[in-house]
Chain A
Amino acid sequence: MMILTVAGKKKNYPERLTLPALIEQEAVENPDYVTVTINDAFVERGDFAQTILKDGDTVEFLYFMGGGTV
C-alpha cells in the first residue's frame, strides 16, 4: 500500500497505481477533459498512461466549469 493525497484527502492506494487507474477509481467526471497535476506540476494528456503514482504524491483533478449567465 502507499499513501496519496488526492483532491486534498490522504488515502491508501495499491502500489504502482497508474494515473488512468486512479482516474477510474476516483470516478472522475468527464475523464477525457480533466486536467491533472501531480505534486503541483501538470501532466500532459499523452503521458497519462505511462504515469505511475508514487507513495506521497499529491494529485489534483481540475474540471471544466462553465456556468454563469444563461
Chain B
Amino acid sequence: MPFTNEQLERYSRHIILKEVGIKGQKKLLNAKVLIIGAGGLGAPAALYLAAAGVGTIGIADADEVDLSNLQRQVIHTTADLGKAKVKSAAETMTAINPDVKVNTYRTFVTSQNIMNLIAGYDFILDGTDNFPAKFLINDACVMAKKPFSHAGIIRFRGQLMTYVPGQGPCYRCVFKNPPPKDAVPTCKQAGVIGAMGGVIGSLQAMEAIKYIIGQGKLLTGRLLTYDALKMEFHTIKLPRDEHCAVCSAHPTITKLIDYEQAECDMKK
C-alpha cells in the first residue's frame, strides 16, 4: 500500500535517513513487536515504537497504574491511576499514532501462556522487573527462535543485551540461573532513578527498530552497561556458553520453568 500524504509527513524524519527510507518505514509499519511489562522500561520503549510507526505492538502486563509508578512510567498519567496498565499504555500509544494497532494482554507471563503470546511477534522486548520472568522470556524466545532484548535497571545503573537466534549467547549463557529469592535486590527494594528507564528502555526500542529495518550492529554477544553516577557506558563482550542449559546443541532445559518470585515483591 502506498503511503498517504499524512504518513509521508509523519515519518519524514525517518524516510530522509538513508538507513530507513520508504523501504525501512514500510518494514516498521509491517512489524510486530511484543513488549512484556508496561513499566519503567516498557513505557518509554512503547512510546518510541508507537511514534516510530511499528504497525503492531503487543503489550502484556497484569498490573494497574499505581501512584508510585508515575515517577518513571511515563506512558501513564495521574488521570490513569487504578486503570489497567495495558489499557492506559494502549490509549497513549494510539493517541500518539493512530497507525499503530495495539494488542493488550492483561496478564503476567507464565510457562502456560508465553509461547502463545510471543508466537505472532517478530521481536520481543523484556521490560519485566523480576528474574523468574526474565529467565522465562529468555527460554521461551530461545525455544521459539524469537529475537529479544533483555534489559535491567536498578538505582543508577542499567544494562541490556540482544538475543538473536544463532547469532550469539542467550541470557542464560551469561547468568545461568535466577538468583535465590531476595538475594539480589529489585527496583522496589533498592530504588531506581526514573530517567534510567528512559535511557535503557529507549535503547531497547532502538535495538527493535534496528532489527526490523536490518541496519547496524545489534547488541548480540555484547552487554551494554550504563552507570549514571559515573556517566559511563561500557560494552562487555559475551561469549556463548557451549554447555548452555537452553541454547546449546544439547539443552538440558526443554520445558519452560516458573521460578518462584521474591517474597517482598509478591502482590498483596
Interface residues of A (CB under 8 A from B): 7-8, 30, 32-33, 35, 37, 40-42, 60, 62-70
A35 to B183, CA, bound (A): 15
CB neighbours of A40 from chain B (8 A): 237, 239
Q: Which residues of A contact B39 (CB under 8 A)?
A: 68-70
| Closest CB in chain A relative to B200 CB, distance in Å | 8
Q: Contact: B183 with A66, CB < 8 Å? A: no
Known: A37-B236, A69-B127. 6 other contacts (CB 8 A): A30-B179, A65-B157, A66-B134, A67-B187, A68-B37, A69-B38
Q: Is the CB of B40 within 8 A of A64?
A: no
Residues of B within 8 A of A63 (CB): 157, 159
Count class of interface residues, chain B: 35 or more
Q: Determine which of A7, A35, A66, A69 lies in contact with B234 in the assembled complex, contact meaning CB atoms within 8 Å.
A: A7
Which 3 A-B pairs give the minimum distances between C-beta atoms? A65-B152, A69-B39, A67-B153
Q: What are 22 of the A-B contact pairs (CB < 8 Å)?
A: A30-B183, A35-B175, A37-B236, A37-B237, A40-B237, A42-B174, A60-B236, A62-B174, A62-B223, A65-B151, A65-B159, A66-B187, A67-B151, A67-B186, A67-B192, A68-B40, A68-B42, A68-B129, A68-B151, A69-B37, A69-B38, A70-B187
Chain A hits for B174, CB < 8 A: 35, 42, 62
Does B63 sit at the interface, judged by CB under 8 A? yes
Nearest-neighbor residue (CB-CB) of A8 within chain B? B234
In terms of DSSP, what is the predominant structure of the interface of chain A?
loop
Known contacts A67-B186, A68-B127; A62/B152 CB under 8 A:
no
Contacts of B238 in A (CB 8 A): 37
Interface residues of B (CB under 8 A from A): 37-42, 61, 63, 69, 126-131, 134, 151-154, 157-159, 174-176, 179, 183-188, 192, 196-197, 223, 232, 234, 236-239, 241, 265
B158 lies within 8 A of A42 (CB): no
- Whether the Cβ atoms of B159 and A69 lie closer than 8 Å is no
Contact for B129 among A8, A30, A32, A66, CB less than 8 A = A66
Query: When chains A and B are docked, how far (Å) is the Cα of A35 from the Cα of B178?
Result: 12
Residue of B nearest to A64 (CB): B184
Residues in B with CB closer than 8 Å to A41 are 239
CB neighbours (8 Å) of B129 from chain A are: 66-70
Chain A residues contacting B186 (CB-CB under 8 Å) are 66-67, 70
B7 to nearest A CB, angstroms? 32
Which residues of the partner chain A approach B184 to less than 8 Å between Cβ atoms?
30, 33, 64, 66
> What A residues does B131 contact at CB under 8 A?
64, 66
Taking a contact as CB atoms under 8 Å apart, the answer to whether A66 and B152 are in contact is yes
Chain A, residue nearest B191 (CB): A67
Closest Cβ–Cβ distance, residue B180 to chain A (whole Å): 8
Complex: A60 Cα to B235 Cα, angstroms: 10
